[in-house]
Amino acid sequence: MSSAVVSPIPKAHPTVRDPWLFRIGLITMASAFLLLFVVIPVWTVFHEALAKGVGTYFAAFQDSAGRSAIGLTLLVAAIAVPCNLIFGLCASWAIAKFQFPGKSLLVTFIDLPFAVSPVVSGLIYVLLFGSRGWFGPLLSAWNVQIIFAVPGIVLATIFVTFPFVARELITIMQAQGSEEEQAALSLGASGWQTFWRITLPKAKWGLLYGVILCNARAMGEFGAVSVVSGHIRGLTNTIPLHVEILYNEYNFVAAFAMASLLTLLALLTLVIKSFLEWRMRAAPTATELPSFG
Amino acid sequence: MSWRALQLWYQRKILPGFGLTLGITLAYLSLIVLIPLSATFLRASALGWDGIVHALTSPRVVASFELSFSISLYAALINALLGTILGWVLIRYDFPGRRIVDAIVDLPFALPTAVAGIALTAIYAGNGLIGQPLAALTGLKVAYTPLGILIALIFVGLPFVVRTVQPVLEDLEVEYEEAAASLGASRLQTIRRVVLPQILPAILTGFALAFARAVGEYGSVVFISGNMPMKTEIVPLLIITKLEQYDYAGATAIAALMLVISFVLLFGINALQRWSHHIRVAT
Amino acid sequence: MADARRSHCNGIAQLRMKIEVRDLIRKFGAYTALNRVSLDADDGELVALLGPSGSGKTTLLRIIAGLDFPDEGNVYFDGVDSTRLKIQKRHVGFVFQSYALFRHMSVFKNVAFGLEVMSGKERLDRAEVRNRVTELLQLVQLPGFENRLPHQLSGGQRQRVALARALAIKPRILLLDEPFGALDAKVRKELRNWIKDLQHQLKITTFFVTHDQEEALEMADRVAVMNNARIEQIGTPSEIQDQPATAFVEEFIHTKQTF
């Protein structure tokens, strides 16, 4: 399973033309599809959030429970993303630069979290660290709380965002090859120097790409966090969980106000993503053999 | 392999850091992914075969599986059809705003599922933007029915087929279509006989991805479905309900089955991608 | 490296080096790339490794460089067994067939790289690095190219930057892997003469790999003709041409190659 596919630059093929009517029909169908399923939902979030005016909108963020939800979301992302980033760097170096038996199995295992349902992703940690989990008695003996507390939320978030950075880096590093690294070694560079000065700069756009996707998912994760969180107001609620609570209390404006934060994040992510894709495509390829003097 | 041969194999890695990075990778992978997943299977197997079967064959569980899988299937099919059209339109046609349209295709991927859930519910509820006129005109109710679940699952699966089909469409050599046209084939015939076979692996891959996503989806569905047991209760919700009722055995059994299905789908998708890649490289 | 001799040339000091290769065997599974290959090269010599593809010449070059290790056999640098020495420590200048310039760095940074990653006592300060790079760019006839990026350069220019980069660290030997492979005929001829002159100026022991016999015979002091994982003959160009030792050498040398 691949991570988000880097979308190709749309370019028009004027050569083989579809009949005029056909084209109009398809474009209309496609637009209606997108309008219905993307544009209207996004518009709805802001419409509902501002339904009672701008004042009420901002009031939603003064609420202390709301603020701790925002704080917790930021904290969880601040832990999960760097962890998966470091993992991604290690995994991509091992996988892209070396040959070893079992490599494709390893890559498949790294992809696993993509395939697992969010609820199951949370459940597996409850089964390990919950009060009835394998380590349950041990943890309560030490007075350590993982499930229904912040560590559990962090763990579940790390799980669901596990492959993002690694997959992007593996793809890009495999495409870039290892000759420059070998050249660096021949010039006397150590492993660290080679990694910092050669590999990392080459891969930087792919790295950023993976990081922003990882971050978007980390902040927006709902199902997995819902299972491990315990929904304790003001303590173990991230923004998505808080949205759910507000919604179930029929406090729609506040719910959509919180949701609008996440929507803005999503839109920002899309903008940065498009920019990075453009940069990744614009980067000069180095493995081209020059064909003229 | 002899010790000396092993030494040589390791020395020939040339680039440093193999042992360290592989070690960290395996450790982290085991800790975060492999051990928790194995623990789930072990817990499930502790129920014994009878226990598992009992947990999985209760009417409520069966109904939720039927619901989740059938609606996911329809949603993935619709996404396959409309996603292909969308991909075609974005690659083959030029129109104002095309790049923006291409960018927003990824929104369902970037938008948190809970946000999608409440937004879709607001739209399709009885008093919603679309729900209201729809009910007035056709008497059709969307929210709190399987139809609402379908809408939500179409939403989350939208980008998958589009994004798998686009690269293949881009690489398609136009000469084949021109040749067909010069031999007298109509546009429709050309598309059916020349283009479709080449993009079929990609469509199937996208379909499988959308299906896998839909089956496990929770956040976008749980608000619009109403969660009525036997009627609109999807599998992920059932797991949560069982957890809340401390039916750990039931929840674990269902989760284990979902994991097995996930792995099967994952391997299937990898195989599809290899097939798709093989076809692209071969042409 | 106790008795390294120095020759000064254009202010760029080089270390000269005697290379001995003894009975190298390298197998890739069932396929043998090198089958008891032995070779010597003396100070300042320009040796061509000539042969068709699959003859083992690139494998031999890479083993000398430290990018590969043999199953059996030894490589000696000035009498010291360096067979298992890591490439970072070998102090060789390797020019890859595709040049492998650091694509995100300017020409200046590329050439200066080997100097900037040096540690400890040998480190040069910024002014010294700048001087050395400028000197080298003069030497390879690319003055003023400091701020260009690799993708802005032509093939021949990239090759010269790769050469300058390799020379910056004052390598003990220079290893060129099919240096003219990707260039067109005219540029090839120019660069051929230029590299030969440069090598004689610097008096640095050099190996280069090629499948073009005209090139090898024109440039090299000695030629090692390889075929099927073995060296068929080593000798000066005139020896190879006038007294081919085996039927293969005779045929290979006298077959006209078309591009």
Residues in chain A: 293
A179 Cβ under 8 Å from any chain C Cβ: yes
Local structure of C203: helix, strand or coil: coil
What's the pLDDT score for residue B283? Answer: 59
Which runs of consecutive H residues, i.e. helices, occur in C78-225?
87-90, 107-116, 126-139, 155-168, 185-202, 213-219
C187 Cβ under 8 Å from any chain A Cβ: yes
What's the pLDDT score for residue A2? Answer: 40
Q: Please tell me whether residues B173 and B98 are part of one structural domain.
A: yes
Give the domain extent around B35.
17-46
Which residue has better confidence, C259 or B82? Answer: B82
Residues C47, C53, C57, CA angle at the centre, nearest 5°? 30
Question: Model confidence over A235-291: pLDDT tens digits?
Answer: 789 999 999 999 999 999 999 999 999 999 999 999 999 999 888 877 654 333 333
Q: Please tell me whether residues B162 and B265 are part of one structural domain.
A: yes
CATH number of the structural domain spanning residue A100: 1.10.3720.10
Question: Model confidence over C169-219: pLDDT tens digits?
Answer: 999 899 999 988 778 888 888 888 888 998 888 889 999 999 888 899 999
Task: With respect to residue A202, please indicate whether it lies within any of the assigned structural domains.
Answer: yes
Average pLDDT over residues A209-221: 95
Q: Please tell me whether residues B158 and B24 are part of one structural domain.
A: no
Inter-chain CB proximity C67 and B14 less than 8 Å:
yes
**Residues of C in Cβ contact (< 8 Å) with B8:** 69, 71
C254 Cβ under 8 Å from any chain B Cβ: no
Question: Model confidence over A34-89: pLDDT tens digits?
Answer: 888 889 999 999 999 998 888 888 888 888 888 999 999 999 999 999 999 999 99
**Residues of B in Cβ contact (< 8 Å) with C68:** 12, 14
A163 CA: distance to closest CA in chain C (Å): 27
Type and span of the H or E element at C50? strand C46-50
Chain C interface test: which of B7, B14, B18 (most C C-beta within 10 Å): B14
Inter-chain CB proximity A10 and B18 less than 8 Å:
no
**Positions of CATH 3.40.50.300 in chain C:** 19-91+174-259
What's the pLDDT score for residue C107? Answer: 96
A9 CA: distance to closest CA in chain C (Å): 22
Residues in chain B: 283
Q: Please tell me whether residues B153 and B31 are part of one structural domain.
A: no
A38 → closest Cβ in B94, B108, B266: B108
Mean pLDDT of the residues in chain C: 87
Q: Please tell me whether residues B156 and B192 are part of one structural domain.
A: yes
CATH number listed for the domain at residues C19-91+174-259: 3.40.50.300
Mean pLDDT of the residues in chain A: 87
B8 Cβ under 8 Å from any chain C Cβ: yes
Q: Please tell me whether residues B26 and B55 are part of one structural domain.
A: no
Q: Please tell me whether residues B26 and B76 are part of one structural domain.
A: no
Q: Which residues contact B97 (CB under 8 A, 6 or more apart)?
A: none
Provide the domain count of chain A: 1
B251 → closest Cβ in A93, A123, A221: A123
Task: With respect to residue B165, please indicate whether it lies within any of the assigned structural domains.
Answer: yes
B269 → closest Cβ in A1, A12, A93: A1
| Single-letter code of the amino acid located at B270 | N
C151 Cβ under 8 Å from any chain A Cβ: yes
Which residue has better confidence, A175 or B187? Answer: A175
Question: Model confidence over C115-137: pLDDT tens digits?
Answer: 999 887 778 888 999 999 999 99
Chain A interface test: which of C96, C98, C124, C132 (most A C-beta within 10 Å): C98
Per-residue three-class SS string for B213-237: HHHHCCHHHHCCCCCCCCCCCCHHH
Please give the ipTM for the structure prediction.
Answer: 0.90
Task: With respect to residue B130, please indicate whether it lies within any of the assigned structural domains.
Answer: yes
CATH number of the structural domain spanning residue B181: 1.10.3720.10
Type and span of the H or E element at A226? helix A223-229
Q: How many A×B Cβ pairs under 8 Å?
A: 312
Question: Model confidence over C76-120: pLDDT tens digits?
Answer: 999 899 999 999 999 999 999 999 999 999 999 999 999 999 887
Chain B interface test: which of C69, C88, C117 (most B C-beta within 10 Å): C69
- Cβ pair A163, A3 in contact under 8 A: yes
Chains with ≥3 Cβ pairs under 8 A against C? A, B
Task: With respect to residue A273, please indicate whether it lies within any of the assigned structural domains.
Answer: yes
Q: Chain C residue closest to A187 (CA)?
A: C114
> For the stretch C130-165, what's the b/e string if a residue is b when 16 or more beta carbons lie within 10 angstroms of its beta carbon?
eebbebbbebbebeebbebbbeebebbbbbbbbbbb
Give the domain extent around A63.
50-282
Q: Chain A residue closest to C115 (CA)?
A: A187
Type and span of the H or E element at B90? helix B59-92
What's the pLDDT score for residue A117? Answer: 95
What's the pLDDT score for residue C256? Answer: 54
List of chain B residues with pLDDT < 70: 282-283
A88 CA: distance to closest CA in chain C (Å): 22
B45 CA: distance to closest CA in chain C (Å): 43
Instruction: Quickly tell me which residue has 């139809």 as its tokens.
Output: B147
A101 Cβ under 8 Å from any chain C Cβ: no
| Single-letter code of the amino acid located at B154 | I
Q: Residues of A numbered 126-155 whose beta carbons fall under 8 angstroms of chain C's beta carbons: which are they?
A: none
Inter-chain CB proximity C67 and B11 less than 8 Å:
no
Q: Chain B residue closest to A19 (CA)?
A: B187
Task: With respect to residue A116, please indicate whether it lies within any of the assigned structural domains.
Answer: yes
Average pLDDT over residues A151-169: 95
Q: Please tell me whether residues B240 and B210 are part of one structural domain.
A: yes
Q: Please tell me whether residues B30 and B148 are part of one structural domain.
A: no
Task: With respect to residue B243, please indicate whether it lies within any of the assigned structural domains.
Answer: yes
Provide the domain count of chain B: 2
C67 CA: distance to closest CA in chain B (Å): 6
Task: With respect to residue B64, please indicate whether it lies within any of the assigned structural domains.
Answer: yes
C113 → closest Cβ in A187, A283, A284: A187
How are beta strands C19-28 and C72-77 bridged, if at all? antiparallel
Inter-chain CB proximity C68 and B12 less than 8 Å:
yes
Q: Which residues pair with C206 in a beta bridge?
A: C46, C174
Inter-chain CB proximity B158 and A38 less than 8 Å:
yes
**Residues of A in Cβ contact (< 8 Å) with B65:** none
Q: Chain A residue closest to C110 (CA)?
A: A184
Distance, in Å, from the CA atom of C58 to the CA atom of A12, rounded to the nearest integer, reads 45
C88 → closest Cβ in A179, A180, A189: A189
